[in-house]
Amino acid sequence: MVRMPSTLNSLQPFFYKDTAGHIAQSDPTAAGDAANHSLQKRYAFTKGSKTVDMLGPIHSDIFFQDKYLLKGVDMKLKLIRSKDTFCLLSGDADVEYKVVVKVAALFVRKVKLNPGVTLAHARALEKATAKYPIRRVVTKVFSVPTGNISFVQDHTFLGQLPKRIIVGCVRNTAFNGSFLENPFSFEHFGANFLAVYMDGEQIPYKPLKPSFTEDGDANYIRAYHTLFFGTDKMNQDEGNAISRKDYPGGYTLYAFDLTPDLSSGGHYNLVKQGNLRMEMQFEQPLPTTVNVIVYAEIDNIIEIDRARNVVFDYTS
């Protein structure tokens, strides 16, 4: 049995899985085989400028660590909206659709500690700082011009190396915002070679050489396998809601586990400094400018002292 993400939980922040092969469909009124059914479901909620309510977590590094924050620590949140052309889709480019936020609320849970525990914390802070291991997320974007058949980035990361990276390709116009294009359509663009080099050592030991041809000779199982092997889901009773059939239809992502023990789970790994190089090749010249998006996870520590001063070890 494969455990998929909870449908009810994913619907609260308005997430519906896009139809593989039709993620790039921007017209919610398209019917038949050309339809993106998730787009139609979202359209049903907002058609005619109807108000829709959503609820979801803030995807910030500090909120995904397991420890409670000490009281008395000043925390400020700044939320910046994306462009309307980035978060909305339409079958017509000559429109002026926009998102209007009528009401926004932040729900914060607080824990009331036993006075004895509070006193013990104060005594402990006299001798050492409170340490919060976090998994910091860094995203880098590199553009590959139209007509290129290869992409090489010698210094993808220089300094502290990530424990995991996930690579995907999207159209530059979609990334910059367009009503006609979905920025979450991760196309394969005919990629036939992908390898990562950490201080000169090739990862994986045998580069990925997928084939996304539509003549019956497609071969991309190793690339699809990285979604499990590279995200610590290998041999686990859980999945990621991306089927083998879905993979080439807008869900083409490549995951690499860069930890020494190949188990990039919840434990903290030794910090390693070095250089990360990435190379990608395509079967045909790119028909449009493509953005290569590199999502990386890096182990870091946030420390808070008795005076509630915050110190962090972000070195890259």
Interatomic CA distance for residues 40 and 29, integer angstroms: 7
Q: What is the mean pLDDT of residues 289-298?
A: 97
**pLDDT for res 2:** 40
Q: Which long-range contacts (CB under 8 A, 24 or more apart) does 234-242 make?
A: 237/1, 237/2, 237/3, 238/2, 238/3, 239/2, 239/3, 239/4, 240/5, 241/4, 241/5, 241/17
The reported pLDDT for the residue numbered 238 is: 76
DSSP state at residue 298? E
Q: Report if residue 278 sits inside a domain.
A: yes
Q: Is residue 251 part of a domain?
A: yes
pLDDT at 5 over 70: no
The answer to whether residue 1 is domain-embedded is no
Could you give the percent of the chain with pLDDT greater than 90? 73
Q: What confidence score (pLDDT) does residue 284 get?
A: 94
Question: Which pLDDT band, with edges at 50, 70 and 90, does 4 fall under?
Answer: very low
Mean pLDDT over each residue of the chain, to the nearest integer: 90
Q: Which helix (H) or strand (E) holds 40?
A: helix 37-46
Q: Is the pLDDT of residue 304 over 80?
A: yes
pLDDT digits (tens, 9 = 90+) for 136-186: 999 999 999 999 999 999 999 999 999 999 999 999 999 999 999 999 999
Residue-range definition of the domain harbouring residue 66: 7-312
Distance between CA atoms of residues 316 and 314, nearest Å: 6
Q: Is the pLDDT of residue 7 over 60?
A: no
Using pLDDT thresholds of 50, 70 and 90, give the confidence band for residue 315: low
Residue 2 lies in a domain: no
* Residue 42 belongs to some domain of the structure: yes
Does residue 19 belong to any structural domain of this protein?
yes
CB 226 within 8 A of CB 254: yes
- Number of domains making up the chain: 1
Residue 180: inside a domain: yes
Residue 90 lies in a domain: yes
Contact 46, 52 (CB under 8 A): yes
CB atoms within 10 A of CB 291: 18
Express each pLDDT in 86-140 by its tens digit: 999 998 888 889 999 999 999 999 999 999 999 999 999 999 999 999 999 999 9
Predicted local distance difference test score (pLDDT) of residue 31 = 87
User: Which pLDDT does position 215 carry in this prediction?
Assistant: 74
**pLDDT tens-digit series, residues 188-213:** 999 999 999 999 999 888 999 999 98
**214-251 pLDDT per residue, tens:** 777 889 999 999 999 888 887 777 778 899 999 999 99
